[in-house]
Amino acid sequence: MAPARGRKLTGAALRPIDYPTMHFDLVRQTSIALENQPGALHRAAAELARHGINIQGISVVDSIDQGVVRLRTSDAAKARAVLGVIGLNLIEADVFEFDLSDKPGRLAEVCRALAEGGVNIDYAYGSSLGIGKHMRVLLKGSPLDRAKAILTQLPPD
């Protein structure tokens, strides 16, 4: 029922309605270049482990001479220091981390929203723990602020 003409709404009618949105975190990722030879990844992983740093996500893209390893760690600042001490060149970036339900088309929905908003997906990687489980995705989009605004508007799974 509509309020009487000229009458102001009070109480619950003035409270904003909170609609659920997709949950994501902006996390720091470390990328390192490693020679494409036996033991190179072990050296970096072992050094992180020795300092109590957990690898929570990893992507390796190789070429003939070297590979680019992207790491999501439990402590990005500490990982940067540890890997720097052993002489590895690294680059850091802010990436989005989110879970998607295990259903066809869910990733396509996110990609479409970003594309329609003019956001480039520089790269993405992820994996699932199995059928029916969520997929954890790490995604670098640019421009970052526009990507964040779009992801904030997407509905949750």
Domain spanning 28-92, CATH class? alpha beta
What confidence category does residue 20 fall into, taking pLDDT thresholds of 50, 70 and 90? Answer: confident
In the predicted model, what is the mean pLDDT of residues 96-121? 95
Which DSSP state fits 6?
T
pLDDT at 126 over 90: yes
In the predicted model, what is the mean pLDDT of residues 71-80? 97
In the predicted model, what is the mean pLDDT of residues 11-25? 69
Which DSSP state fits 40?
H
| CB atoms near residue 82 (< 10 Å) | 21
pTM: 0.82
Mean pLDDT of the chain: 89
Task: Please name every residue paired with 50 in a beta bridge, in sequence order, or none if there are none.
Answer: none
What confidence category does residue 14 fall into, taking pLDDT thresholds of 50, 70 and 90? Answer: low
Domain spanning 95-153, CATH class? alpha beta
Q: Which residue carries 């940067």 as its tokens? A: 80
Task: Please name every residue paired with 96 in a beta bridge, in sequence order, or none if there are none.
Answer: 26, 139
- Answer whether 35's CB lies under 8 Å from 78's CB: no
In the predicted model, what is the mean pLDDT of residues 25-43? 95
Q: Domain spans of the chain?
A: 28-92, 95-153
pLDDT at 116 over 70: yes
